[in-house]
Amino acid sequence: MSVRTVKLAKHNRFKRNRLVRRILILLSLVISGCCLAIALTGITHQPAAQTLQVQNTKSQVSPDTKTEQKAASTPIATSQTPIADAQSEVPAEEQTVKTFSPPTQYQGKLVKNVKLSTKDKVVALTFDDGPWPNYTSQVLEILKKNDIKATFFWIGRMLKQHPEIAKQVVAQGHVVANHTWSHSYRWMNKAAAAREIDDTADLIYQTTGVKSLYFRPPGGILTNGVADYAKKKNYAVIMWSNDSIDYRRSAAKRLVNNVMRRINPTEIVLMHDGGGNRSATVKALPEIISRFKKLGYKFVTIPELLEMQQKQQKAKSSSQEKEVNSEEKDPNPSPINSVEQGVKSEEKDANSSPVNSEEQGVKSEEKDANSSPVNSEEQGVKSDEKDSNPSSIAPEPEASPAQGIQEIPDSQSPLPSPHSSTEQY
How far is 338 from 333, CA to CA, in rounded Å?
6
Residue 227's identity, in one-letter code, is A
DSSP assignment of 229-255 equals HHHHTT-EEE--SEE--GGG---HHHH
- 119: exposed, middle or buried (Cβ count in 10 Å: 0-12, 13-18, 19+): exposed
Packing angle, helices 48-60 and 81-89, rounded to 10:
10
The number of C-alpha atoms within 13 Å of 384 and in the hemisphere containing its C-beta is 5
Element (H, E) at 368: helix 354-368
Rounded Cα distance, 3 and 208, in Å: 96
**Active-site residue flag, 419:** no
DSSP structure class, residue 106 = G
The one catalytic residue among 129, 162, 272, 273 = 272
Judged on CB neighbours under 10 Å (0-12, 13-18, 19+), 58 is: exposed
Distance CA 18, CA 9 (A): 14
Catalytic residue among 128, 129, 246, 273: 128
Query: Is-contact 140 168, C-beta < 8 A?
Result: yes
b/e per residue, 153-172, with b = 16+ CB within 10 A?
bbbbebbeebbebbbbbbee
Cα 232-237-243 angle, rounded to 5 deg: 160
Helix (H) or strand (E) holding 126: strand 121-130
DSSP class of residue 371 equals G
**C-alpha 346: how far from its chain's center?**
61
* DSSP annotation of 151: E
Question: What's the burial of 286, exposed, middle or buried (CB within 10 Å: 0-12/13-18/19+)?
Answer: middle
Evaluate whether 252 touches 215 at the Cβ level (below 8 Å).
Answer: no
Tell me, yes or no, if 272 is annotated catalytic: yes
Q: Per 3-state DSSP, what percentage of the chain is helix, strand, and coil (rounded to 5)?
A: 55, 10, 35
The rounded distance, in Å, linking the Cα atoms of 82 and 245 is 43
Active site residues: 128, 272
